[in-house]
Amino acid sequence: MRKQSLEFLQKLMSSPSPSGYEEPAQEIWREYTKPFATVKTDYHGNTIGTLKPKGTPRLMFAGHCDEIGFMLIYIDDKGFISFAPIGGFDETIIPGRRVNIHTANGVVPGVIGKTPIHLIDRDKRDKGSKIEDCWIDIGAKDKKEAEKMVAIGDPVTYMYDMMDLATGLSVARAFDDRIGSFIVAEVLRELSKSKTLKASISSVSTVQEELGLRGARTSAFGCDPDVGIATDVTFATDQPGVDKKKVGDIKLGGGPVIARGPNINPKVFKILVEVAKAKKIPYQIEGISRATGTDANAIQVSRAGVAAGLVSIPVRYMHTPVETLDFKDVEYGIKLMAGFAEALTADTDFTP
């Protein structure tokens, strides 16, 4: 990966971006893409980079920049803070985490506390923790002191930075789906140098996916594409405890994952596979028998309907602070999506 792209990724991954609080990530995305695309941000917060606005067909790429997080909802008289989830969490792994509270005056560190196991009745120890059993401790002596540092509604993220494992795999708290936001920016950069591109391109760093695909719904309506490709993460099944008969055989390092099913236009799927074969890009296929639960779902049903596709990056330990992926899959995903765009012409027909 080139130096500038890696620096962009590191900045993007370190930015706090819970759903509804995506401004820091979007500012980084805007500054990176402005040199090679026309960039705007809509009222919802989606940031859109455009190439060849008069090209045909109109192609939209979408990767959501929001992450799961928390929000402050109550401060008690002793200065301990109650909080609520933004997005879906495994509540049993929340206690004992270091967190950053993102305030109007900067970051306030804290820890998520709970009653020590020694002090919990034996018949309750094995039931696991719930969010209401936990609190955030910022070291305040009372409510008044806490209110000088934080405010109700401030967002919270885990205090985890991106790191590499000894084998070269990468770990971060928000690859779901800041890596998708990164990919659509890199595809835009690659296509800005293309001599053969015929399509109009809108790459969108979408918002609020974790709260119901909200940003993809509004940006797809605004962009009005003929065809749209979402990029997200999907479950790697090359780990203990996963039944491949239920979710398929997907592994890290096996290449980007091309989805197939009722959420996916069959012509889009066919072109993606053809491009992968022609460019010798390793790929995997994921059968999804329902709406995918990604931005592809919202794109497909926008306006009078859009030819939708989904290219995913395999990730282990989704919705934890240690989401793990292989960057070879990311690099091949960028190549696949750029190749798809270059394969389109005004005569490309997506009618099933």
What was the pLDDT predicted at 139? 97
Q: Is the pLDDT of residue 29 over 90?
A: yes
End-to-end CA distance of the chain: 37
More confident residue, 124 or 331: 331
Comparing 3-67+173-343 with 69-158, is the CATH topology the same? no
Q: What is the mean pLDDT of residues 34-38?
A: 98
User: Do strands 155-158 and 98-103 pair parallel, antiparallel, or not at all (unpaired)?
Assistant: antiparallel
Q: What average pLDDT does the structure give for the chain?
A: 95
Segment 240-250, tens digit of pLDDT? 999 999 999 99
Q: What is the mean pLDDT of residues 14-25?
A: 96
Q: Is the pLDDT of residue 206 over 80?
A: yes
Segment 65-116, tens digit of pLDDT? 999 999 999 999 999 999 999 999 988 899 999 999 999 999 999 999 998 8
> What distance in Å separates the CA atoms of residue 50 and residue 233, rounded to the nearest whole number?
24
What was the pLDDT predicted at 2? 86
Q: Is the pLDDT of residue 27 over 90?
A: yes
Q: Is the pLDDT of residue 223 over 80?
A: yes
pLDDT band at 121 (very low <50, low <70, confident <90, very high): confident
What was the pLDDT predicted at 120? 76
> What distance in Å separates the CA atoms of residue 64 and residue 120, rounded to the nearest whole number?
40
Task: Please report the beta strands in the chain, taking only residues with DSSP state E, as ranges in sequence order.
Answer: 38-41, 47-51, 58-64, 69-75, 81-86, 98-103, 106-113, 135-137, 155-158, 163-164, 170-172, 200-206, 227-235, 257-260, 284-287, 307-315, 323-325
Nearest to 17 by CA among 25, 27, 28: 25
Nearest to 180 by CA among 348, 53, 25: 25
Q: Is the pLDDT of residue 128 over 80?
A: no
What was the pLDDT predicted at 117? 77
Count the alpha carbons within 13 Å of 138 in the hemisphere toward its beta carbon: 28
How many percent of the chain have pLDDT more than 70? 100
Nearest to 68 by CA among 317, 246, 305: 317
Q: Quick one: tokens of 349?
A: 């027909």
Lowest mean pLDDT among 1-10, 139-148, 226-235: 1-10
Nearest to 310 by CA among 139, 184, 152: 184
> What distance in Å separates the CA atoms of residue 331 and residue 123, rounded to the nearest whole number?
50
Task: Look at the domain 3-67+173-343 and name its fold.
Answer: Aminopeptidase (3.40.630)
Lowest mean pLDDT among 48-62, 112-126, 174-188, 316-330: 112-126
Q: Is the pLDDT of residue 3 over 80?
A: yes
What was the pLDDT predicted at 102? 98
What was the pLDDT predicted at 116? 81
> What distance in Å separates the CA atoms of residue 112 and residue 100, rounded to the nearest whole number?
10
Segment 134-192, tens digit of pLDDT? 999 999 999 999 999 999 999 999 998 899 999 999 999 999 999 999 999 999 999 99
Q: Is the pLDDT of residue 271 over 90?
A: yes
**What are the backbone angles phi and psi of residue 13, rounded to the nearest 5°?**
-70, -25
Which distant-in-sequence residues (6+ apart) come within 8 Å of 241 by Cβ? none
pLDDT band at 235 (very low <50, low <70, confident <90, very high): very high
Q: List the domain boundaries for the chain.
A: 3-67+173-343, 69-158
209 is catalytic: yes
Q: Is the pLDDT of residue 202 over 90?
A: yes
How many percent of the chain have pLDDT more than 90? 93
More confident residue, 245 or 124: 245
Active-site residue, from 67, 186, 190, 209: 209
Which class in CATH covers the domain with range 69-158? Answer: mainly beta
Q: Residues for the chain: how many in total? A: 352
**What are the backbone angles phi and psi of residue 87, rounded to the nearest 5°?**
95, -175
Q: Are 174 and 19 in contact (CB under 8 A)?
A: no
- Mark 17-42 as b/e (b = at least 16 C-beta within 10 Å): bbbbbbebbbebbbebbeebbebebe
Q: Is the pLDDT of residue 330 over 80?
A: yes
What DSSP element (H or E) covers 222? Answer: helix 214-223
> What distance in Å separates the CA atoms of residue 103 and residue 154, rounded to the nearest whole number?
6
